[in-house]
């Protein structure tokens, strides 16, 4: 069973991937999703290239892209091959209002023919394995349903198909539909036996992934998203000690200062990953939240380690 860190915009940048690699590396990383339109434009290329930066602990890593213009998929895929990626993944599941309004992400489920065109354009442009990540359907009542949508994608003989087991309109509000896994595996076996099926949704850690893989032995892998935010050690067998969490936060700060181009405030999303579930955690976190730079947080962490 392959364990994968899910692509997460604003989270799984090169900094966070290095942090997870230090805690316990999954088998495979994904970049955050990047718009092929911006890669194809003079104005957006610099930023897109920044998002495609690969660091030493990244490989094997898959670049995730989104958009709706087949030529831009080709152009981006050609470039990705030269950058050292292990594969190219097409996002067909993002529910973000702006992405969907643009016809990308989960919006692609509404234009299945265009989705297929984008896959083909990508496959033709690169020798890298091409995969897709999608949801079951747009909604339970609207448009193409999972029992047509997934076969349509499988027919493209993707290297891998990650299924976030919810519809777009379900967002993350209902439990993932694990009950559909056997049916999805059957479709795969019939249509594209070589395509790896990766299951995604609500799996919090390695143990839970192993339980799922034991229950559904046909799945090839499990992808973990939010579980890695709430516990960057989620790919490890054992739970971290508080000292390990603090030490990882120190490492996170160090890598952030060295490699991130994002404002320091974005670090605040992560303090809860390291400081929670013990008496006094809220107070320490509150001090971190008002800190204005990495050095201030570092001092708070060092104090906290002394107090252990």
Ligand X SMILES: Cc1cc2nc3c(=O)[nH]c(=O)nc-3n(C[C@H](O)[C@H](O)[C@H](O)COP(=O)(O)O)c2cc1C
Residues that bind ligand X (CB under 6 A): 6-11, 32-33, 64, 91, 93-94, 133, 164, 200-203, 224-227
CB atoms within 10 A of CB 55: 15
98-130 b/e with 16+ CB inside 10 Å = b? ebbeebbbbbbbbbbeebbebbebbbebbebbb
Q: How far is the CB of 302 from ligand X (least distance, A)?
A: 29
User: Residue 252: in which H helix or E strand, if any?
Assistant: helix 242-259
Q: How far is the CB of 172 from ligand X (least distance, A)?
A: 6
CA Rg, the chain, in Å? 20
| Residue number with CB closer to ligand X (9 or 296) | 9
| Residue number with CB closer to ligand X (66 or 72) | 66
Q: How far is the CB of 176 from ligand X (least distance, A)?
A: 7
- As given in the structure block, the two tokens for residue 252 are 């996170």
User: Residue 223: in which H helix or E strand, if any?
Assistant: strand 221-224
Q: How far is the CB of 269 from ligand X (least distance, A)?
A: 9
Q: What are phi and psi of 151, to 5 degrees?
A: -60, -35
Q: CA-to-CA distance for 70 and 128, rounded, in angstroms?
A: 17
Q: Report, as residue numbers or ranges, the catalytic residues.
A: 94
| Residue number with CB closer to ligand X (38 or 64) | 64
Three-state secondary-structure class, residue 66:
strand
The one-character DSSP state at 150 is: H
CB-side exposure of 216: number of CA atoms within 13 Å? 19
Q: How far is the CB of 135 from ligand X (least distance, A)?
A: 8
| Residue number with CB closer to ligand X (65 or 255) | 65
| Residue number with CB closer to ligand X (25 or 287) | 25
Q: How far is the CB of 293 from ligand X (least distance, A)?
A: 24
Q: CA-to-CA distance for 231 and 23, rounded, in angstroms?
A: 10
Q: Do 92 and 134 meet the contact criterion of CB atoms below 8 Å apart?
A: yes
CB atoms within 10 A of CB 30: 26
Whose CA is closest to 65, among 40, 31, 98?
31
Whose CA is closest to 128, among 91, 82, 92, 86?
86
């Amino acid at each position: 069973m392959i364990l994968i860190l899910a692509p997460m915009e604003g989270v799984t940048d090169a900094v966070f991937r290095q942090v997870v690699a230090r805690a316990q590396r999954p088998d495979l990383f994904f970049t955050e999703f990047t718009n092929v339109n911006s890669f194809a434009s003079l104005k957006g290329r610099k930023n897109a290239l920044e998002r495609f930066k690969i660091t030493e602990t990244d490989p094997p890593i898959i670049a995730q892209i989104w958009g709706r213009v087949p030529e831009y998929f080709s152009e981006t895929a050609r470039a990705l091959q030269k950058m050292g990626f292990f594969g190219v993944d097409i996002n067909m599941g993002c529910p973000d209002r702006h992405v969907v309004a643009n016809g990308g992400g989960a919006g692609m489920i509404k234009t299945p023919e265009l989705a297929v065109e984008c896959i083909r354009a990508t496959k033709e442009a690169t020798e890298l394995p091409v995969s897709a990540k999608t949801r079951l359907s747009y909604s339970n009542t609207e448009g193409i349903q999972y029992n047509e949508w997934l076969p349509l994608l499988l027919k493209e003989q993707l290297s891998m198909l990650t299924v976030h087991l919810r519809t777009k309109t379900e967002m993350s509000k209902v439990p993932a539909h694990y009950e559909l896994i056997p049916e999805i595996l059957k479709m795969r076996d019939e249509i594209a036996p070589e395509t790896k099926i990766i299951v995604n949704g609500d799996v919090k850690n390695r143990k839970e992934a192993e339980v799922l893989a034991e229950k559904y032995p046909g799945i090839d892998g499990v992808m973990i998203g939010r579980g890695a935010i709430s516990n960057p050690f989620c790919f490890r067998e054992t739970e971290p000690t508080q000292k390990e969490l603090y030490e990882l936060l120190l490492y996170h700060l160090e890598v952030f200062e060295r490699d991130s181009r994002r404002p320091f405030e974005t670090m605040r999303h992560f303090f809860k990953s390291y400081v929670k579930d013990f008496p006094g955690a809220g107070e320490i976190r509150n001090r971190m939240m008002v800190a204005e730079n990495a050095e201030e947080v570092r001092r708070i962490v060092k104090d906290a380690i002394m107090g252990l």
